[in-house]
Structure 1
Amino acid sequence: MFEAKDGRFSKFFNSIKPSGLRLAQTVFEKRAQKDKAEGKNAIEAVNVAIGSVSLKTHPKLLERYLNPKDELLINGIWRYGETPGTQKANDVFIKIIRAFLDDDNPVELYSIVQDGGSGAMRTAVLGLCGEAGSDDRPLLVMNPTYTNYKAVAEELGRKIVAVERYLDRSGNFNHVAVEEIERAVKKYKPGALLIIPYDNPSGQLMRQKTINEYARICLENNIFIISDEAYRGLYYVDEPPPSIWQITDKDLPGIEKAKIRISIESLSKTFNACGLRMGALVTDNEEFRDKASFANTTYLCPSIIDQHIVEALYDESKESIRSWISSLRDYYKGLLEYMYDEFKKLMPNAIVSKPEASIYMVVDLREIVGDDFDAEDFVMFCAKEGEVNINGKRYTLLVSPMWGFYNVIEGRNPGHTQVRIACVEPEDKMRLVPKLFKELLEQYLKSRR
């Protein structure tokens, strides 16, 4: 359904299809409309394909939305704001970072408000990678990586290269060896290394010692390190919360002077505000922040209304920020552990990534299905025709195929047997996911015989 071509469209438009995160929803909506037109009882899709959390947002964000404080906004005077965003909104993002740092941490942080984390990555890629269409200074990532970042680099025409992580039979993604990163840096000469400490899509937690070593490589090779810390504080093992901002000269001499660090920030997950679309690019390099601001003048400014909502967190204390995120950590830890255990009970031959961080898990079916299995085809089956009846109600399940999370040049994409599941639906629906997945997979495999 996505193959139509029009000679009047650009090559980019004619080659594009929906992100794997939105693919199932796009198809299911057509099915739901058809069912309604035919008078069928509605079928409910449990949508765990995209990380759109259903938990209520922080009460101060909700209060500010319902009761704005800015007189100009209240009176309907909605003018452009500053390109980098308001000082208060930027200070909120910096305050959240500092809530997880020691009080004596000397790092100076500079911020620019962006349209979510993906907007921040777009600015970072434009600022650090080579010219469009060239192989110069690519973005170095670790497979699998967040599909939106891969898509951003490709959309901008910037080269992206990858080192591999593998999901073993026990459900562990390996941490990429320091030596492998060193070889990749020497081979590709990237403009930046991207890491995701609280990993999307794998649910893996990167340890601080590993981050320090990756930063050392970047320091020695005079390249930037970009860290997606949108899930800061959401970790489920007995480890301190990792961050590139934890590193000081005591850990890595010269890191403070080098000014090579950038973090991608977002309120989407840790403050349950996906629809607010508020993120930030934070750096210890003031000149980079200034250049990023220049680059963003084309788009004039972030939403002043959304920033006004963000500013409601300005007076939050370090303790209250940590306490709020700790409550989310307790919720997700219990839910992810239930999901993992239930999948292993219902589908013992499935390989399920062990949840250590963020809100995701990967299910790999390579021990169950044949070589011709394609996860996207299974996802389409669920969206178009698969259904399970539970207590007289029709359900299907929307998950994300993993092919888009891998940057694969040669050979078979491991994502063809893998799907990502996001713990984003209300808890009662999340508890249906393993059963729905098992029964829909059985239906799909039977339909192909």
Structure 2
Amino acid sequence: MKNLDLATTDFFNSIAPSCIRKSSIVFSDRLKRTNESVSAINVAIGNISLPTHPAMLRRLLSVEDENLKKGVWRYTQTEGIDSVNQTFKNIIKSFLKPGLEPELFTMVDTGASHIMKLVMLGACGKFKGVNRPLMMLDPVYTNYISIGQELGREIVAIDRELNADGVFSDIETDTIEKIIEEKNPSAFLIIPYDNPSGTLMTQETINKFAKICIKHNIFFVSDEAYRGLYYRDDIKFAPSIWNISEDEVPGINAAKIRISIESFSKLFNACGLRMGALVTDNQLFFEQARAANTTYLCPSCIDQYIASAIAFEDQKEIQGWVMSLRSYYKRILSELYSNLKLLMPDLIVTQPEAAIYSMVDVRNVVKPGFDANDFVMYCASKGSVEINGINYTLLVAPAAGFYKNNNPYANTQMRIACVLNDKEMKLVPELFVRLLKEYEGKRN
């Protein structure tokens, strides 16, 4: 076949790189093409640069498992070895309110993105021939949109607006109820420590949503990759679907509707380990998820072994570890906000209450027709700013990739991931403002 469009499917021909990855691909191609001496400060993707948990590092450097030492690296059971499943249970239990003991069925897989796909295969789609969508809040982590497209799963998104004060609008219960009645979703997905908005969903809000899911008999799915990373002093226990009590939400235990998506990437600074988990109180959902995943055999036995180190950590130690991360990110996010507003006061910048991301909206400082994706591609392919004798560019994520619906301000918004070391993060505000002014100066 001579032409690529004849060699690949319609899906392959239509697909584009993720909004969190595209700029790094373009920048890499730029260096290969030009051999420029320019460094990219990459805050487009949440790729943590902090060192991982010491117990996991010790396991990597001093392997004690006899089979791994001998080089006998066989498949494990599809749901993962017992100790790595116990690890995820240990993490969840470390953040439970006293007296709560939810029934937890767990299975691990190669990163939370694979778990997202598995959950979407089982929690939305055709039910006895009737197609039922997945409901979520807009904007949402871009992978959910991409995976939905890949699987042919419909997504119904509830609009949120980024207001001029840098705060996203709340969602009214009546709005959710109306959409459920109109669209008949089979599951409601939340991200309590929200990516990309940085919004914190309180336990009271989670409980309110749980009651709606029980009322309409739909799955309640929670992406808890950032559990414990919140920055409000009035929060005593980490908001979670597993912190819903029977007293607060009668029938929650019997409903068997809870599913959480877990990850090692952010809480244990292990993005490259590729270890995630599906956790549910529904035994049948667990069994069928495991059955579906037998096609893919099992996750890496080496990654499972390393992650299993946390199974033996004291729960107070886990809490302390996450508390140290919380203090670190709270400072980094605050400094980013202050320095961006100092350099360009009319920017709309979020002040995140959770997770590790900040959203920036340039609607007040740019000329009409601004397209954040075009600006990001400019930075990746051409942009260069000199600071202290070194040429830099900045890679951020255009926010349009996080919106399922057509938001009027999506094209002026970008997401910044606070994942680099202190020295590099301090460069971000100056690079952003100078590159934005440079780009706007060249745009008609």
Name the TM-score class by shorter chain: over 0.9
Question: 1:403 touches 1:413 (CA, 8 Å); kept in 2?
Answer: no
Question: 1:202 touches 1:360 (CA, 8 Å); kept in 2?
Answer: yes
Q: Distance in 2 between matches of 1:405 and 1:412?
A: 10
Q: Distance in 2 between matches of 1:13 and 1:135?
A: 27
Q: Is 1:447–2:442 an aligned residue pair?
A: yes
State the match for 1:32 in structure 2: 31
Letter in 2 for 1:277: R
In structure 2, list runs of 5 or more residues that go unmatched.
none
State the match for 2:264 in structure 1: 267
Report 1:38-437 matches (<5 A): 40=36, 42-131=37-126, 136-238=131-233, 239-240=235-236, 241-408=238-405, 411=406, 414-437=409-432
Q: 1:169/1:412 Cα in 2 relative to 1: closer, same or farther (>3 Å)? A: closer
Letter in 1 for 2:341: K
Q: Distance in 2 between matches of 1:71 and 1:432?
A: 46
Question: 2:367 touches 2:440 (CA, 8 Å); kept in 1?
Answer: no
SS at structure 2 position matched to 1:118 = helix
SS at structure 2 position matched to 1:175 = coil
Q: 1:310/1:192 Cα in 2 relative to 1: closer, same or farther (>3 Å)? A: same
Question: 2:55 touches 2:309 (CA, 8 Å); kept in 1?
Answer: yes
1:252-308 alpha-carbon deviations (Å, 9 max, x no partner)? 100011000011100100100000000101011111111100000000111111000
1:361-400 alpha-carbon deviations (Å, 9 max, x no partner)? 1001111223311100000000011111001000000000
Q: Distance in 2 between matches of 1:235 and 1:392?
A: 37
Post-superposition shift, 1:103? Answer: 3.8
Q: Distance in 1 between matches of 2:384 and 2:41?
A: 11
Post-superposition shift, 1:413? Answer: 5.1
State the match for 2:11 in structure 1: 12
Question: 2:193 touches 2:354 (CA, 8 Å); kept in 1?
Answer: yes
Q: Distance in 2 between matches of 1:214 and 1:7?
A: 47
SS at structure 1 position matched to 2:279 = strand
State the match for 1:21 in structure 2: 20
Q: Distance in 1 between matches of 2:226 and 2:180?
A: 26
Question: 1:262 touches 1:282 (CA, 8 Å); kept in 2?
Answer: yes
- TM-score scaled by length of structure 1: 0.96
SS at structure 2 position matched to 1:20 = coil
Question: 1:135 touches 1:159 (CA, 8 Å); kept in 2?
Answer: no
Q: Distance in 2 between matches of 1:78 and 1:280?
A: 21
Q: 1:135/1:175 Cα in 2 relative to 1: closer, same or farther (>3 Å)? A: farther
Letter in 2 for 1:438: V
Q: 1:371/1:131 Cα in 2 relative to 1: closer, same or farther (>3 Å)? A: farther
Post-superposition shift, 1:248? Answer: 1.4
Letter in 2 for 1:290: E
Q: Distance in 1 between matches of 2:441 and 2:112?
A: 40
Post-superposition shift, 1:175? Answer: 2.2
Question: 1:406 touches 1:413 (CA, 8 Å); kept in 2?
Answer: no
Question: 1:57 touches 1:272 (CA, 8 Å); kept in 2?
Answer: yes
1:327-365 alpha-carbon deviations (Å, 9 max, x no partner)? 000100011000011111111111111111000010011
In structure 1, list runs of 5 or more residues that go unmatched.
none
1:82-139 alpha-carbon deviations (Å, 9 max, x no partner)? 000011101101110110002420311110102211111111100011149x982101
Post-superposition shift, 1:414? Answer: 3.0
Question: 1:364 touches 1:419 (CA, 8 Å); kept in 2?
Answer: yes
Q: Distance in 2 between matches of 1:415 and 1:28?
A: 23
SS at structure 1 position matched to 2:415 = strand
Post-superposition shift, 1:224? Answer: 0.4
Q: Distance in 2 between matches of 1:68 and 1:177?
A: 52
Post-superposition shift, 1:5? Answer: 5.3
Q: Distance in 2 between matches of 1:91 and 1:127?
A: 23
Post-superposition shift, 1:35? Answer: 3.0
Q: Distance in 1 between matches of 2:4 and 2:395?
A: 27
Q: Distance in 2 between matches of 1:86 and 1:247?
A: 28
Supply the RMSD in Å over aligned alpha carbons: 1.4
Post-superposition shift, 1:181? Answer: 1.0
Question: 1:51 touches 1:422 (CA, 8 Å); kept in 2?
Answer: yes
- TM-score scaled by length of structure 2: 0.97
Mean Cα deviation higher: 135-144 or 293-302: 135-144
Mean Cα deviation higher: 237-246 or 332-341: 237-246
Question: 1:249 touches 1:255 (CA, 8 Å); kept in 2?
Answer: yes
Q: Distance in 2 between matches of 1:288 and 1:406?
A: 29
Q: Distance in 1 between matches of 2:408 and 2:305?
A: 43
